[in-house]
Amino acid sequence: MKDNYDINNYTYDMDRCIGCKGCVWVDHVYMPGVRYGVKCPSNAYKLFDGYAPMGREKIGKALLEGRIDYTPEYLDVMYMCQLCGACDAGCKRNLDLEPLSVLESLRVKAVKDGKGPMPAHKKVAQNIAEKGNRYGAAEKRSGWITKDTKISDKADMVYFPGCSASYVEKGIAQATGKILNKAGINFMTLGDKDTCCGHPVATSGMLDEAKAIARKNIDILKATGATTLVTSCAECYNTWKVIYPKMLSKNFADMGYQVIHLVEVVSKLVNEGKFTFSKPMNIRAAYHDPCRMARQGEPWVEWEGTRGQWGILTPKKEYRRGTFGVYQQPRDILNKIQGLDLVEMPRMKENAFCCGAGGGVMDAYPDFAMWAATERLTEVQSVAAEAVISACPYCKKVFNEASKANNMNIKAYDITEIILACM
Ligand code: SF4
Ligand code: SF4
């Protein structure tokens, strides 16, 4: 069986990197100017190309060829990266190389070689192994469920809230439950078997542990008989739709379940006229595309074959270029809310700048995460918006923390809370 996280699958991609920086700069046709022209947070933070995809590829290649060895600096280079995928969508615009798979696989190699992940990642993985959640919280995971939330014992749809909405941003899980109730959609949860999706374990490179979580979660879902899993978290969405099949070397289409984000459920109903908003919300807000369900939201497509002359692949590979991520659905919803003035930031959709929290950066490099969130908030200010709306609890959390720390007076919302407030 092909190992999609084996770095040896990607030496062609590392060799063929031409240093064009299409992975770093916003696509030129969309670039409004230099100020918001860079989309790679780590390159913008460190101002050094070693902390950009092409630098990481060359440094990783040097490690594979034995020209350098592991050092603390090497590990910083590999882990000071949100795995946001902006580089991947950028590189595939011209060259169809796989920088994101390279970055993920170099982390997996670091763990296999006994050098990674960073201590903070080990602590999060320990929390998940011992308590079933990334925070190490001892309370019951179902604490978000209110008396007026109707949860079925048996349904075709399972709501998977994820760690953050279960413990830290409970309002998002509560809003999701109420929205599904109002839409008349029966749903169940995984009950006392509900646990972490394993996203932090997978992104830190702990492949064996992440695979074990994947197999367990998939078995739990299958035992319910449900065929659709709905999330309110971009990371959970990506984990079930991309990381699980990628780790298990299967097409997402063959996994036997569907994954859908709440915004996909609501936008469909809104566009069919079956879900309406009765209350206005008078704010001017920018929508932030969460990396994991936007440019990384396309399902995993398994490929196995050979590369011949001129790099031609046989059979043809179906690339995930980020074009068909969940971009329009949240905008369709927000545009239907009376009084809500939705504005676009210069970096949007495939070119969106990450909130800063992903890829284990919030755990291991919190200062960098806060810097990236602050940088994004200046972009919110640049379009004279007073609020930023996302569809992932991690974005909301880091934006609100950065706004508070810098007295920026920008409020971050999750889209589920906006929908609930306007129902
Ligand atoms: S866009 Fe691709 S080829 Fe160009 S520098 Fe980045 S990784 Fe290398
Ligand atoms: S995944 Fe994001 S942070 Fe990491 S190298 Fe690519 S663009 Fe930069």
Q: Residue 146: phi, psi to the nearest 5?
A: -90, 165
For residue 28, report the distance from its CA to the centre of ligand 1, in Å.
15
Ligand nearest to the CA of 16: 1
Identify which of 381, 380, 371 has the alpha carbon closest to the alpha carbon of residue 41.
Answer: 371
Is position 366 within any domain?
no
Is position 242 within any domain?
yes
For residue 95, report the distance from its CA to the centre of ligand 1, in Å.
8
Cα–Cα distance list, 389 to 12, 30, 144, 241 (Å)? 39, 22, 21, 23
**Separation of alpha carbons 195 and 216, rounded Å:** 10
83 lines ligand 2 (CB under 6 A): yes
Q: Residue 139: which CATH number?
A: 3.40.50.1860
Alpha helices, H only, 272-423: 328-335, 361-364, 366-382, 393-405, 415-422
Whether 259 and 240 have beta carbons less than 8 Å apart is answered as yes
Average pLDDT over residues 340-361: 97
Q: Which atom of ligand 1 is nearest to the CA of 57?
A: 7
The residue with tokens 């839409």 is 183
Is position 88 within any domain?
no
Burial string for 136-175 (b: 16+ CB within 10 Å, else e) reads ebeeebeebbeeebebeeebebbbbbbbbbbbbbbbbbbb
81 lines ligand 2 (CB under 6 A): yes
Average pLDDT over residues 18-32: 90
Question: 224-277: per-residue pLDDT in tens?
Answer: 999 999 999 999 999 999 999 999 999 999 999 999 999 999 999 999 999 999
Cα–Cα distance list, 40 to 68, 86, 106, 205, 260 (Å)? 25, 6, 18, 20, 27
Cα–Cα distance list, 229 to 218, 237, 260, 395, 398 (Å)? 11, 9, 6, 21, 26
Query: pLDDT averaged over the chain?
Result: 96
For residue 89, report the distance from its CA to the centre of ligand 1, in Å.
10
Domain count, the chain: 1
Q: Residue 154: phi, psi to the nearest 5?
A: -140, 130
Tell the residue nearest (CA) to atom 3 of ligand 2: 81
- Pocket residues: Cβ below 6 A from ligand 1: 17-23, 53-54, 90-91, 95, 97, 99
189 pLDDT higher than 90: yes
> How big is the CA angle at 60 (ends 56 and 65), to the nearest 5 degrees?
150
For residue 52, report the distance from its CA to the centre of ligand 2, in Å.
7
Q: How many CB atoms lie within 10 A of CB 303?
A: 15
Whether 257 and 314 have beta carbons less than 8 Å apart is answered as no
Task: Decide: helix, strand or coil at residue 22.
Answer: coil
Q: How many CB atoms lie within 10 A of CB 56?
A: 27
> How big is the CA angle at 299 (ends 419 and 213), to the nearest 5 degrees?
90
pLDDT at 31: 82
Tell the residue nearest (CA) to atom 1 of ligand 2: 83
What are 11's two structure tokens?
């030496």
What is the span of the domain harbouring residue 242? 129-265
For residue 423, report the distance from its CA to the centre of ligand 2, in Å.
37
89 lines ligand 2 (CB under 6 A): no
Half-sphere CA count of 326, side-chain side, radius 13 A: 33
Ligand nearest to the CA of 58: 1
Identify which of 287, 261, 283 has the alpha carbon closest to the alpha carbon of residue 355.
Answer: 287
204 lines ligand 2 (CB under 6 A): no
What are 9's two structure tokens?
């699958």
Q: Which atom of ligand 2 is nearest to the CA of 24?
A: 7
32 pLDDT higher than 80: no
Q: Which atom of ligand 1 is nearest to the CA of 22?
A: 1
For residue 50, report the distance from its CA to the centre of ligand 1, in Å.
13
Tell the residue nearest (CA) to atom 8 of ligand 2: 40
Is position 326 within any domain?
no
Predicted confidence band at 329 (pLDDT cuts at 50, 70, 90)?
very high
> How big is the CA angle at 165 (ends 160 and 167), to the nearest 5 degrees?
115
Task: Tell me whether strands 157-160 and 228-231 are parallel, antiparallel or unpaired.
Answer: parallel
pLDDT at 29: 84
Tell the residue nearest (CA) to atom 2 of ligand 1: 91
Question: 94-138: per-residue pLDDT in tens?
Answer: 899 999 999 999 999 999 999 999 999 999 999 999 999 999 999
Q: Which atom of ligand 2 is nearest to the CA of 88?
A: 6
Is position 412 within any domain?
no
pLDDT at 264: 98
Residue 421: burial class (beta carbons within 10 Å; 0-12, 13-18, 19+): middle
90 lines ligand 2 (CB under 6 A): no
Tell the residue nearest (CA) to atom 3 of ligand 1: 17
pLDDT at 33: 86
**Separation of alpha carbons 163 and 196, rounded Å:** 6
82 pLDDT higher than 90: yes
Question: 275-321: per-residue pLDDT in tens?
Answer: 999 999 999 999 999 999 999 999 999 999 999 998 999 999 999 99
Is position 237 within any domain?
yes
1 pLDDT higher than 80: no
pLDDT at 85: 97
| Span between the terminal Cα atoms of the chain, in Å | 48
Is position 414 within any domain?
no
Is position 212 within any domain?
yes
Average pLDDT over residues 163-185: 97
Ligand nearest to the CA of 46: 2
Cα–Cα distance list, 252 to 70, 239, 248, 298, 402 (Å)? 35, 11, 10, 10, 36
